[in-house]
Amino acid sequence: MPAMTEISVSFNPILIFVAVLLTIMASYTALDLFTLIKSSDRNQKFLFLGGTFSLGIGIWIMNFIGMVAININASGSYNIPLTLLSMIFGISFTGMAFNTVIERELKTGNLIARSFFLTMAVLSTHVTGMFAVGMNVQFGPIIFLISALIIFVSFLFSLWMLFYSKSLSYSRPIWIKPLSALIFTGAIVEGYFLLIRSSSLYSKGEISKGSSPETSLIYLVFFAGILILGGLIASSTLISKRLEASDTHLHDIKAALDESSIVAITDPKGIITYVNDKFVEISKYEEHELIGKNHNILNSGFHPPEFFQNLWKTIKSGEIWKGEIRNKAKDGSFYWVETTIVPFLNKKNKPYQYVSIRTDISALKSAEASLKHSLKEVNDVKFALNQSSIIAFTDEKGTITNVNEKFCEISQYSREELIGQNHSILNSGLHSKEFFKNLWKAIAQGEVWKGEIRNKAKDGSYYWVHTTIVPFLNANGKPYQYLSIRNDITERKKTEEVLHQQDKLAAVGQLAAGVAHEIRNPLTTMKGYTEFLQLDETHEERQEYLSIILDEIDRVNNIVEDFMVLAKPKAAELEERDIIPIIKNVVSFLEFEARKRDVKIGFEYQQDIIQIECDENRLKQVFLNFIKNGIEAMPDGGDITVRASIINNQVQIAIQDTGIGIPQEKLKKIGEPFFTTKKNGNGLGLMVSFKIIESHNGKVFIESELNKGTTFNIVLPAKSA
């Protein structure tokens, strides 16, 4: 058995320097490749293998060249398999250490495991390398444990800076990788020297004074290591440049997003892992209050649970979700954000994180709510106007562009018949051209016009409207459309007309009360003396004159009687009577006068008995007036037909002649005091007749057509059986 000889060692400083330099290069290249794995979704395996080989060979080269740098007077033989095994140990343990870099979740256990495997890489490479050169190693346990612990702590600190420190990981200062590479190199180098110092080396053979016969093999391995490291450094540099450009682009995008958007990153469970300054600003939470929480911290309670269930269902399936969310800030205020949530998928197409990009739309939402409120108010006003008023829109030329239902209802035109027309379609002819000229002058100047207009409906009937025309002005102050708001005042106009008639009647009544009594006394005297003179007069011509005087006195007396009726109308003494014999009596009374004028009077009735409550004498006066007016309206003869019937529990009596008719403009004035269509009439007879019918709770309607005749329609309540 060969004797074990203790070996004394000394170092070659040049080789040690080269070894350290190569280790620094290898460490920097490896760490560069490993840090690129986190920011690259492609070529992860290539980067991992490159980093593993680079650091593993760096550890091996430090130990191998370190052995060469020691002037060992040993046998100089090298065990090639063990040499390769030491290289494999270094690469394998390095791969184990950085295998978790590919994973996205970084845990404390992973940090300790990485540091342990890197420590094992240094120890296994060193020990195996010792045996590879034919030496036995005996380590001092205390110094060995201290050396291993220092190596472990150095690796732990460097890995923490690179991968676990959140502030350094996100900010990525330029010095972090060089410093980490130096710490790695220091751990490897100090491991080498401490392990040498803690060990006693013994040669298995005799010590030789000369150089190793396998020096060429050493330099060959040395050269191969440099080539491998050079290739790895070159590839690392190339990849770094490409990824640097990509990182710059991504950094610019991130900067732009941070300036314009609210950005947050969460893990697969929705736990917030990152927020930008704008997120902090709008939520009013500090960053540390948000990290580690989920978005329930911002829940405003506005959205139902189904809303968030659908959101999560979408993003968990790998689809992008977009929508609007109302959040609640720390101070209790609410804000709206337009949100896009992008899931990032792993190789199994499962999300490993979510990036949410939000835009503050609170002002837009506020404007939208204000607009909705304004639109509601406008719709409410529009509804109220449509329910209460007659509305029409016209363009600047007066062409109708829109009307509401009430417009169609009162005008009796359909919407289709009105759109595209102008308001002349409703012109009643009452107002002058000057009236409409002044109207257009006002609204064309942008002024609101108000007034009353009488319009003509499709069926020819007239209606009055109180009109307000509002011009809408463009940017140049010129009207581009007009809105007319009308209210039906037809009934008011009728009431005004009735009041006007009553005022006239009151004036006539006052006149009658004042003069009727004074007139009747002289008339009685005049009539008495005229009749007395007529008794003694034998001269025929004078006798005729006296007859004329008596006729005129009777005429004046009749006028006075009418005045008295107006001045002191008698209360109607109504009794139940059959209207048929009353009318027959009046017709037979006037038949003689009618024949003299070549007028035929006919009486038609459907029932033999028509009972009403009436003052018979006063009702006879009405029939006499209407039939006599009909006779006088036919100077060349004609027919008068009187009809009596009961319709809807009302007695309707029509007195129709075939006379000359009454013009429409005069027809509406019939019944006014002193208005008459006859040459010698005074207008009081019809007025008194109307008053008598009103006292019987009845009405009178007049229909007339020029050259065809006139019909007086009397409507009285029938007596219930």
Q: What mean pLDDT is predicted for residues 480-493?
A: 91
User: Does pLDDT of 323 surpass 90?
Assistant: yes
Q: At 43, is the pLDDT very low, low, confident or very high (cuts 50, 70, 90)?
A: low
Closest CA to 619 of 555, 657, 575, 588: 575
Residue 282's closest CA among 342, 354, 356, 353?
356
Better-scored residue on pLDDT, 50 or 362: 362
In the chain, what percentage of residues exceed pLDDT 70? 75
Instruction: Tell me which of 252 and 314 has the higher pLDDT.
Output: 314
Q: Report the range of poorest mean pLDDT among 98-107, 350-359, 369-378, 386-395.
A: 98-107
Residue 128: is its pLDDT beyond 70? yes
Query: Has residue 463 got a pLDDT over 50?
Result: yes
| Model pLDDT, residue 326 | 94
Residue 20: pLDDT over 60 = yes
Residue 28 has pLDDT above 70, yes or no: yes
Residue 439 pLDDT class (50, 70, 90 cuts): very high
Residue 6: pLDDT over 70: no
pTM, rounded to two decimals? 0.43
Instruction: Please tell me the predicted confidence (pLDDT) of residue 688.
Output: 78
Q: How many residues does the chain have?
A: 721
State how far the Cα of 657 lies from the Cα of 630, in Å rounded to an integer: 6
Q: Is the pLDDT of residue 592 over 90?
A: no
- Sheet arrangement for strand 262-266: 272-275, 262-266, 351-360, 334-345, 321-328
Residue bearing the bigger pLDDT, 302 or 165:
302
Which of 53-62, 120-129, 314-323 has the highest average model confidence (pLDDT)? 314-323
Question: What pLDDT, on a 0 to 100 scale, did the predictor assign at position 564?
Answer: 63
Q: What is the pLDDT of residue 3?
A: 47
Task: Pick 479 or 31 by higher pLDDT.
Answer: 479
H or E stretch covering 393: strand 390-395
DSSP character string of 555-617: HHHHHHHHHHHHHSPPPP--EEEEHHHHHHHHHHHHHHHHHHTTEEEEEEES-S--EEEE-HH
Per-residue pLDDT at 466 exceeds 90? yes
d(CA 26, CA 694): 124
User: What domains appear along the chain, each with residue ranges and CATH number?
Assistant: 5-244 (no CATH), 261-367 (3.30.450.20), 389-488 (3.30.450.20), 494-567 (1.10.287), 575-717 (3.30.565.10)
Average pLDDT over residues 314-326: 93
Q: Report the pLDDT averaged over residues 256-277.
A: 87
**Strands annotated E in 119-271:** 135-139, 199-203, 262-266
Task: Give the pLDDT score at 510.
Answer: 64
Give mean pLDDT, residues 402-409: 92
Q: Has residue 569 got a pLDDT over 60?
A: no
- Mean pLDDT for the chain? 79
Q: 500-547 pLDDT, tens per residue?
A: 766 666 666 666 666 666 676 787 788 787 877 777 777 787 887 788
Closest CA to 657 of 639, 632, 676, 643: 639
pLDDT given at position 139: 63
Q: Distance between CA 232 and CA 252 in Å, rounded?
A: 29
User: Which stretch, 176-185, 296-305, 606-615, has highest mean pLDDT?
Assistant: 296-305
Cα 690 to Cα 629: distance, rounded to the nearest angstrom: 14
**Local structure of 384: helix, strand or coil:** helix
Mean local confidence (pLDDT), 631-640: 88
What are the b/e assignments for 229-238, b being 16+ CB within 10 Å? beebbebbee
Looking at residue 510, its amino acid is Q
Give the whole-angstrom CA distance, residue 522 versus residue 485: 61
**294 vs 279: CA distance, rounded Å:** 14
The structure tokens listed for 559 are 């006028």
* CB contact at 8 A, 637 and 653: no
